[in-house]
Structure 1
Amino acid sequence: MPLLVYILGLTIFSLTTSEFMVAGMMPSLALALGEPVTRIGYLISLYAIGMVVGGPLITVGMLKLRITKKEGLLGLLSLYVIAQSIAASATSYDVMAIARLATGVAASACFGVSLAICADVVDVRARGRAAAIVIGGLMLASVVGVPMATLIDQHLGWRASFWLVVVLTVLCMVLVTLLVPRSKPSQAVSLDSELKEFRNPHLWTAFASSGLIIGAIFAAFSYFAPILIEVSGFPPSSIPWLLGVYGVANVVGNGVVGRFADQYTIPLMVGGMLILGVSLALFAVFAQDQTISVALLVVTGLVGMSMNPAIIARVMRTAHPGPLVNTIHTSVINIGLGAGSWIGGLGIAAGYGLRSPLWVGVALAVLALISLLPYLGQRTTARARLPSASPLR
C-alpha cells in the first residue's frame, strides 16, 4: 500500500477532528464567545452544511477549470488552513460561524479529491482496502482526535486545539506536495466526463444505499447517550468510556471490512445491515439491561460506521471514481447522517420514548437491505474487472 494512502488518511483525520471537536469544547466556546450552548452546537451543523452543499460546487468549479487533482487538493487544504486559522483567532460568534462554514466546504471537496487520488494510486482490486485506510482517519478522529482536542482545550484552551488542526493540515500539505507526482494540465479530469457518470442508474442506487446505511447508524447513535443514561441506568460519567468502546469497535470493524471490501462488497453490506438491524432491535427490547446494552453497543460499532470501506468500494466500482463522484458521495453520506439523526428524534418528539430512535434505525437498516438485495448475486461489476487502476491525474 503506497505511503501516500496513509498520508491521505492523516489528512482526513485532521479534517474530521476539526468537524467533531466542537462537541467536546462547547462550555469553553460558549464562555469565550458569549453564546448559549445551543448556538455553539450550530457550529457543527454549519460545518456539515458546508460539506453537503459547498463541496460539490467547489468540485464542479475545479473540473470546469480543469485543475489537476494534486493542485486541487493543495488549493483546498490551503483554503482549509486559512479558514481554520480564522476560526482559531475568532473573537465573535459570527466570525466563527463563517469560518466553520468555509472549513466544511473545503473539507467535503478534500474528501472527494483524496478518495479520487487514492483510487488512482492503487490497483483497482485494492481500492476498498485503500479506502478503508483513508476513511480510517475518520474513525480515529472519534477515538483519538476528539478526546485529544478536548484534553488540550481543558489544559491549554480551545484555541490551541484549533491551531493544532492547522499544524496537522500544513504537515499534510507538505507531504502531499512531496508524494503526489506533478500532473500535466492535459491530464486534468473534465467536467463533461465526470457528469457522464451520473447517467448510470446503478450509481444512484449505490448512493441511496449509502444514505440509508449511514442514516440507520446515526438515527440510533445520535441518542445513545440519553438511552444509556435514562434507560440503561448508566451514570453520566460513564458515557465517555462507553462511547470510547464504541469508537474502538468502529476502528476494528473498519479494518476487517476494509480487508475484504474489494472481494465481497455486497455480501459484506448485506450481512452488516442484517446484523445492525437485529442488534438495534435487541437493544430496543433489552435497553434496561446494562450488560446486554454494552454488548450490543459493541456489535453496533463493529457493523455500523465500519461499512464505509464497502460503500465506498461499491461506488468506486459502479462509476469511475473521480473527484465529483466521490464528493457527491460524501454529501450523500452527510445527508444520511443529518436525516437519520433528525428522523430518529421524531419518535421521541412524538412521545414514543427514548427507545424509538433504535426502532427507526432498524427500519432504515431494512430499507438499506432491500436496496442491496438485487445486487447480492453480483460479486463484482464491469468497473472492477479492469486490469489496473486508471493513470494518476
Structure 2
Amino acid sequence: MPAAIYLLSLCIFAMGTSEFMVAGMMPSLAAAFHVSLADIGNLVSAFAASVVVGGPLLTLRLRAVRRKPALLGLLALFLIGQLIGAAADSYAQMLASRIVCGVAQSAFFGVALALAGELVGMDRIARAAGLVLNGLMLASVAGLPLATLLDQRWGWRLSFWLVAGLVGLAMLGIAALTPAGLAPARQEAGEEMRALAKPALWAAYLSSGLIIGAVFAVFTYLAPLFLQISGFAAPSVPWLFGLYGAATVLGNLLTSRLADRHTRRVLQGGILTLLMAMLALAQGAQWQALTAAAVFLLGAAGLPMNPAMVARVMRTGGNGAMANSLHMAVINLGLMFGAWAGGLCLDAGWGLRAPLWLGAGLALLAWLSLGLDRRGDSWQAKARPAEVLV
C-alpha cells in the first residue's frame, strides 16, 4: 500500500476522535452547558447533519481542485472548528464547532477515499479503504477512551485542545509527504449524474445509512447505560469504550481482508451479529459480564462493515469524490437519525434500554435492504490496474 494511505488514516484518526469523544463526555458537557443528555446527543446529530448538507456542497466546490491543496484546506477548516469547540463557553458555540467540523470531515472523507481508489484500483479498494478507515477504528479504541479519561481527570477542554494539535500535525504530514501531482478525476458532470442516478447505488446508500443508524442509536447512549443500568463505576467507562474500540480494530482488520471478494457475506454476517448483540444487551444490560461481551460484539460488527460498504458503493457509483461524499452524507444521515431518535426515546421516558430496541429494529431493516440489490457487479471486485491521475 502507498504511504499516502497510512497518512490519510492518521488524519481520519484525528477527525474520528473529535467526532466520537462527545459520546464519552456526555455527562460533563451536559453539566458544563446546563443542558440535558438528550441535548448533548443532539450535538452528535448536528455533526451528522452538517455532513449530510454541507459536505456534498463543499465537495462540489472542490471538483476542480487538486488533491493536495484540497486535503490541506479541509484540514485547516476542521482545525478552526476544533478550536471553536476547545474555547466554547456556551452550548451554541459548541454546536457551531460541531457543524464546522462535520462539513470539513465529510468532504475530506470523499477526497481521501477517491484518492485511495486511484492509488490502488477497484480490485483492492476494500483493503485500501479499510486501512484509511482504520484511523476511525483507532479513534474508538484509543482516541475515545483517552478523551473520556482526560475528561474525568482534567476536564473536557483538554481533549479538544489535544485533537486540535493532532490535526495541525496531520496538516504538516500532508504538506510534506503527499505527492503534489495528484489531481481529481476529470469526470464529466453528466457522467457523474448518471452514476448517481443508479438504483443499485441508492440501495447501497440505504444499507449503509441503516447500519450506521443502528450503531449510533446505541453507541451514543452507552456511557449512561454503563453507569445507570449495568452499575459500572465511572473509572470503568473509559475501559469499556477501549474494549469497544479494540473490537472495531480487530473487526476492521478482518473485514478489510475479506470484503473485496465477499462483500455481501461480510455485510450479512456483520448485520446479524449486530442485531444479536443489541437484543442481548437490551435483555441483559443489568449483568456486567454480558454487557462487556455485547459491547465487544457491537464494536466488532458495526463500524468494521465500512470497507464492505465503501467497496459496494464505489463499484456501483464510480470513484468520484462526489459519490464518496454522498455516501458519507447518507451514513451520517443514519448517524443523525439514530442519535436523534435515541434521544427521543429518552425524552419520552422509555428508559436507557429503548435505544437498544431502536438499534435492533434499524439493524433488521438494514439486513432486509441487502435484498434490494442483486447485481453481481455491486458485490464483486473488478480487477483493473491502479491509475494515478496527474
How does the TM-score come out when normalised to structure 1? 0.86
1:230 Cα deviation after fit: 4.1
1:14 maps to a residue whose letter is A
Please say if 1:245 is aligned against 2:243.
yes
1:307 alignment partner in structure 2: 305
Measured in 2, the distance between the counterparts of 1:272 and 1:243 equals 20
Please say if 1:385 is aligned against 2:382.
yes
Matches within 5 A, 1:46-57: 46-57=46-57
Secondary structure of the structure 2 residue equivalent to 1:384: coil
Please say if 1:357 is aligned against 2:355.
yes
Please say if 1:3 is aligned against 2:42.
no
Please say if 1:292 is aligned against 2:277.
no
Measured in 2, the distance between the counterparts of 1:154 and 1:217 equals 25
Given that 1:47 and 1:101 are in contact with CA atoms closer than 8 Å, whether structure 2 keeps it comes out as: yes
Whichever of the two has the greater Rg, that structure is 1
1:256 Cα deviation after fit: 0.9
The number of equivalent residue pairs is 388
Distance 1:225 1:150, change over 3 A: closer
Secondary structure of the structure 1 residue equivalent to 2:381: helix
Given that 1:266 and 1:375 are in contact with CA atoms closer than 8 Å, whether structure 2 keeps it comes out as: no
Distance 1:89 1:297, change over 3 A: closer
Which moved further from structure 2: 285-294 or 5-14?
285-294
Distance 1:232 1:324, change over 3 A: same
1:114 alignment partner in structure 2: 112
Measured in 2, the distance between the counterparts of 1:293 and 1:136 equals 25
Measured in 1, the distance between the counterparts of 2:126 and 2:344 equals 35
How does the TM-score come out when normalised to structure 2? 0.87
Matches within 5 A, 1:107-146: 107-146=105-144
- Among 317, 322, 325, the alignment partner of 2:323 is 325
Measured in 1, the distance between the counterparts of 2:160 and 2:232 equals 32
1:270 Cα deviation after fit: 0.7
Distance 1:84 1:199, change over 3 A: same
Measured in 1, the distance between the counterparts of 2:361 and 2:28 equals 38
Distance 1:392 1:223, change over 3 A: same
1:91 Cα deviation after fit: 5.6
Which moved further from structure 2: 248-257 or 350-359?
350-359
Given that 1:4 and 1:180 are in contact with CA atoms closer than 8 Å, whether structure 2 keeps it comes out as: yes
String of CA shifts for 1:293-320, please: whole Å, max 9, x gaps. 3222222221122111111111111111
- Among 66, 75, 81, the alignment partner of 1:77 is 75
String of CA shifts for 1:216-235, please: whole Å, max 9, x gaps. 22223333344444444444
2:17 alignment partner in structure 1: 17
1:384 Cα deviation after fit: 3.4
Distance 1:67 1:193, change over 3 A: farther
Given that 1:220 and 1:361 are in contact with CA atoms closer than 8 Å, whether structure 2 keeps it comes out as: yes
Distance 1:154 1:253, change over 3 A: same
1:372 alignment partner in structure 2: 370
2:62 alignment partner in structure 1: 62
Measured in 2, the distance between the counterparts of 1:167 and 1:105 equals 19
Measured in 2, the distance between the counterparts of 1:211 and 1:88 equals 30
Which moved further from structure 2: 157-166 or 359-368?
157-166
Measured in 1, the distance between the counterparts of 2:23 and 2:346 equals 22
1:169 maps to a residue whose letter is V
Measured in 1, the distance between the counterparts of 2:286 and 2:157 equals 40
String of CA shifts for 1:322-352, please: whole Å, max 9, x gaps. 1111111111111111212333455555565
Measured in 2, the distance between the counterparts of 1:353 and 1:83 equals 33
- Among 264, 269, 288, the alignment partner of 1:266 is 264
2:20 maps to a residue whose letter is F
Given that 1:68 and 1:189 are in contact with CA atoms closer than 8 Å, whether structure 2 keeps it comes out as: no
1:194 Cα deviation after fit: 2.8
Secondary structure of the structure 1 residue equivalent to 2:322: helix
User: RMSD between aligned alpha carbons?
Assistant: 3.0
Measured in 1, the distance between the counterparts of 2:189 and 2:161 equals 35
1:339 alignment partner in structure 2: 337
Which moved further from structure 2: 128-137 or 47-56?
47-56
Stretches of structure 2 lacking an aligned partner (at least 5 in a row): none
Measured in 2, the distance between the counterparts of 1:348 and 1:94 equals 22
Measured in 1, the distance between the counterparts of 2:235 and 2:184 equals 57
2:360 maps to a residue whose letter is V
Stretches of structure 1 lacking an aligned partner (at least 5 in a row): none
Secondary structure of the structure 2 residue equivalent to 1:253: helix
Measured in 2, the distance between the counterparts of 1:183 and 1:165 equals 29
Measured in 2, the distance between the counterparts of 1:137 and 1:247 equals 11
Measured in 2, the distance between the counterparts of 1:29 and 1:358 equals 23
1:277 Cα deviation after fit: 1.7
Given that 1:70 and 1:180 are in contact with CA atoms closer than 8 Å, whether structure 2 keeps it comes out as: yes
- Among 218, 222, 229, the alignment partner of 2:220 is 222
Measured in 1, the distance between the counterparts of 2:178 and 2:104 equals 19
String of CA shifts for 1:103-159, please: whole Å, max 9, x gaps. 221111111111111111113221111111111111211221233345556677655
Given that 2:204 and 2:312 are in contact with CA atoms closer than 8 Å, whether structure 1 keeps it comes out as: yes
1:273 Cα deviation after fit: 1.4
2:203 maps to a residue whose letter is T
